């Protein structure tokens, strides 16, 4: 990564021609990007699974709160049995990675217990699995025009409906994905 810029706290927006079924029409929030690779969470693929069901599976008795009926997202194809909570504010959780001064990803049970009890982060997305790239892999995919990238916007992460996040993330860059060809190529 010596010549490239870190994409931490950026959106990766799948180009219309990206044929990988794991990432077709996705927007991925990059949690970490360095010389060893990248890790991110797909933020627009809700599963047919609710927070309540995950809490029950973890033997945390779900409270009668609207939050526990929210969706769980497929964060990516790597370790789909592991949960990741993308949230703001950062907070004091057992296993968190601060991405910015305001956004963190947490993998510990205590954040889910807090969400259940109404004392968790103000805004959050819960994902199962993550997207990962090895050293130089993401840079190679970017060079092949598989992705658009741009700075992340918390309102797209937490306020925009999941089915609108792909187009909304591209619109931040002034791109209308409907006008792009699904054919990849280089001039």
How is the chain split into domains, by residue range?
10-85+125-179
Q: What is the pLDDT along the chain (187 residues), one digit of tens a residue?
A: 445 689 999 999 999 988 899 999 999 999 999 999 999 999 999 999 999 999 999 999 888 887 788 899 999 999 999 999 999 999 899 999 999 999 999 999 999 999 999 999 999 999 999 999 999 999 999 999 999 999 999 999 999 999 999 999 999 999 988 887 555 444 4
CATH number 3.30.540.10 given to 10-85+125-179: no
pTM: 0.92
Closest CA to 121 of 149, 166, 152, 158: 158
């Amino acid at each position: 990564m010596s010549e490239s810029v870190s994409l931490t706290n950026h959106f990766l927006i799948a180009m219309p021609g990206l044929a990988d079924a794991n990432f077709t029409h996705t927007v991925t929030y990059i949690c970490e990007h360095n010389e060893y690779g990248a890790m991110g969470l797909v933020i627009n693929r809700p599963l047919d699974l609710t927070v309540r069901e995950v809490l029950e599976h973890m033997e945390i008795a779900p409270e009668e709160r609207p939050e526990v009926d929210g969706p769980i997202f497929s964060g990516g194809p790597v370790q789909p049995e592991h949960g990741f909570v993308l949230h703001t504010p950062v907070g004091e959780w057992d296993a968190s990675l601060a991405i910015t001064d305001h956004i963190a990803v947490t993998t510990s049970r205590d954040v889910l217990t807090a969400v259940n009890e109404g004392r968790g982060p103000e805004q959050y997305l819960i994902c199962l699995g993550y997207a990962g790239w090895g050293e130089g892999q993401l840079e190679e995919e970017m060079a092949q025009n598989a992705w658009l990238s741009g700075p992340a916007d918390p309102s797209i992460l937490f306020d925009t409906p999941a089915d609108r996040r792909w187009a909304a993330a591209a619109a931040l860059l002034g791109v209308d994905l409907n006008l792009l060809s699904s054919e990849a190529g280089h001039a």
